[in-house]
């Protein structure tokens, strides 16, 4: 079985799709796929489908959806499969689970690659770090579960995944900056800061990329615009960390150069208190 949740929902067995067309069974399959091998309690599934006010028939309806998923799974597996649909989409006391390996679901491959990238980053192996982060991000084909209706449980899961992706992008850019790829990053970072207009980490990265590319004035202008935006829209000043980076640029601080500072952190980390 191969399941993808980092984009449109996809689930295939022997090359055949088992994704149902109805909305609520899609929600069930998505939630089970996020936690393979782990029992998903019935109350959690009911909360995802109906929120805090499930109908009187909720349990019976949930069982019907599980039966529909098993039928699709059984059809795709074929009569000669060593395990039946009930063994894969299994019933346990209080809930249901997908009996599949974590590697069958793209999100778990993504998380393992991101973990490897972070470990290499901390060790100072920037080539491996950037490669692992990039491979992890290549698994994304769009917003997570973009074609699935999100109940309260999946909504939290999607928010978590979106935040994880943004952190992974940041760390990959950190590794690329340490490899001297500042000129190649400016266009990407310009788009990212436009999408995340209050994100100080991304703004610090585009400032560094521009500064190292000989565009000190443009880097300072990025800071000026961010500061005005934070004051006008949120009523706050940039963080002390970003303010120190700004002052370092004004002073042409050598810490901003490519190989300055500890190898285990980002350039932004150099200006932490």
pLDDT tens digits, 105-163: 999 999 999 999 999 999 989 999 999 999 999 999 999 999 999 999 999 999 999 99
222-242 burial string, b = 16+ CB within 10 Å, else e?
bbeebbeebeeeeeeebbebb
Neighbours of 250 (CB within 10 A): 11
Q: What is the mean pLDDT of the chain?
A: 92
Q: Where are the alpha helices (DSSP H) in 196-258?
A: 200-212, 216-234, 240-250
207-258 confidence digits (pLDDT tens): 999 999 999 999 999 999 999 999 999 999 999 999 999 999 999 988 887 6
Nearest to 3 by CA among 136, 121, 139, 123: 139
Whole-number Å distance between alpha carbons of 167 and 186: 18
Going through 85-154 in order, the beta strands assigned E by DSSP cover 89-92, 95-98
DSSP strands (E only) in the chain: 2-4, 10-13, 16-17, 40-41, 89-92, 95-98
Q: Which of 198, 34, 26, 47 is closest to 18 using CA atoms?
A: 26
260 pLDDT band, cuts 50/70/90, is: very low
């Amino acid at each position: 079985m191969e399941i993808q949740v980092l984009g449109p929902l996809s689930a295939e067995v022997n090359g055949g799709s088992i994704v149902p067309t109805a909305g609520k069974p899609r929600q069930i399959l998505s939630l089970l796929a996020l936690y393979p091998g782990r029992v998903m309690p019935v109350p959690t599934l009911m909360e995802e489908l109906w929120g805090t006010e499930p109908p009187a028939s909720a349990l019976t309806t949930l069982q019907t959806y599980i039966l529909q998923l098993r039928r699709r799974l059984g059809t795709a597996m074929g009569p000669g499969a060593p395990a039946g649909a009930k063994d894969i989409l299994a019933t346990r006391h209080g809930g249901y689970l997908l009996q599949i390996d974590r590697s069958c679901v793209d999100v778990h491959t993504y998380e393992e690659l991101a973990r490897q990238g972070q470990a290499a980053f901390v060790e100072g192996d920037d080539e491996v770090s950037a490669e692992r982060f990039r491979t992890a991000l290549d698994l994304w084909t769009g917003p997570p579960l973009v074609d699935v209706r999100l109940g309260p449980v999946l909504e939290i899961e999607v928010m978590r995944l979106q935040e994880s992706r943004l952190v992974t992008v940041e760390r990959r850019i950190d590794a690329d900056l340490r490899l001297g790829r500042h000129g190649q990053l400016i266009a990407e970072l310009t788009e990212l800061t436009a999408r995340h207009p209050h994100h100080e980490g991304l703004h610090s990265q585009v400032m560094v990329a521009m500064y190292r590319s000989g565009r000190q004035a443009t880097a300072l202008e990025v800071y000026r615009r961010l500061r005005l935006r934070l004051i006008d829209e949120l009523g706050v000043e940039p963080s002390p960390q970003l303010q120190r980076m700004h002052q370092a640029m004004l002073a042409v601080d050598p810490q901003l150069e490519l190989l300055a500072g500890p190898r285990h952190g980002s350039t932004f980390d150099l200006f932490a208190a």
